[in-house]
């Protein structure tokens, strides 16, 4: 928490951002690599499109858990057989299409997003503790807090944290 605010990337142009942009929130064409719809817009706002895009990139690095905990991961999957590009090619396609390049600060963006998700899940764990959680899968989220925080620190370390 202390390291991140002092190491943020320079501001990107403000754009409409989804806030929860990930493969779980898109409907894809079954016969070709085409997005038909993006769902779950309740977190949308104006903000940094690179933070939004790199949130989406977390799935290429998402820790796995025995419980699953509802967090999608591409780690260990045969991406080619699924029609999903390798991360460098995917990022390159984004840069080509948008002119926005997260690569110089990719580790910082990923540290931020993994920390953000760990904090969100910690809030869910608090609701479980307090008896106010409404989702029956909420208790399984507790297993993801430490792995997500560890992944955030891994990316922070790659970006120069000590």
Q: Which pLDDT band holds residue 54 (cuts at 50, 70, 90)?
A: very high
| Segment 52-66 mean pLDDT | 90
Q: Hey, what CATH topology would domain 4-14+49-158 get? A: Aminoglycoside 3'-phosphotransferase; Chain: A, domain 2 (3.90.1200)
- Among candidates 142, 54, 121, which has minimal Cα distance to 90? 54
pLDDT confidence of residue 141: 80
pLDDT of 69 strictly over 90: no
- If 0-12 CB within 10 Å is exposed, 13-18 middle and 19+ buried, where does residue 99 land? exposed
pLDDT at position 70 over 80: no
Neighbours of 21 (CB within 10 A): 22
What residues contact 75, with CB distance under 8 A and at least 6 apart? 60, 61, 62, 63, 64
How is the chain split into domains, by residue range?
4-14+49-158
The pTM for the full model equals: 0.88
pLDDT at 143 over 80: yes
Q: pLDDT band at 88, cuts 50/70/90?
A: very high
Q: What is the pLDDT of residue 107?
A: 97
Q: d(Cα 61, Cα 29) in Å, to the nearest integer?
A: 24
C-alpha–C-alpha distance, residues 136 and 114, integer Å: 23
Burial 39-67, CB ≥16 within 10 A → b, else e = eeeeeeeeebbbbbbbbbbbbbbbbebee
């Amino acid at each position: 928490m202390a390291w991140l605010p002092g190491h943020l990337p320079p501001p990107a142009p403000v754009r409409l951002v989804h806030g929860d942009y990930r493969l779980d929130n898109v409907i894809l064409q079954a016969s070709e690599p085409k997005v038909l719809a993006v769902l779950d817009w309740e977190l949308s706002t104006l903000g940094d499109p690179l933070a939004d895009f790199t949130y989406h990139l977390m799935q290429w690095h998402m820790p796995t858990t025995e419980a699953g905990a509802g967090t999608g991961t591409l780690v260990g999957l045969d991406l080619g057989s699924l029609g999903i590009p390798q991360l460098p090619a995917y990022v390159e396609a984004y840069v080509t299409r948008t002119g926005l390049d997260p690569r110089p600060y990719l580790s910082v963006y990923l540290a931020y997003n993994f920390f953000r998700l760990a904090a969100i899940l910690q809030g869910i764990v608090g609701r479980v503790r307090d008896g106010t959680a409404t989702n029956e899968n909420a208790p399984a989220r507790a297993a993801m807090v430490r792995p997500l925080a560890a992944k955030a620190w891994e990316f922070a370390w790659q970006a120069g944290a000590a």
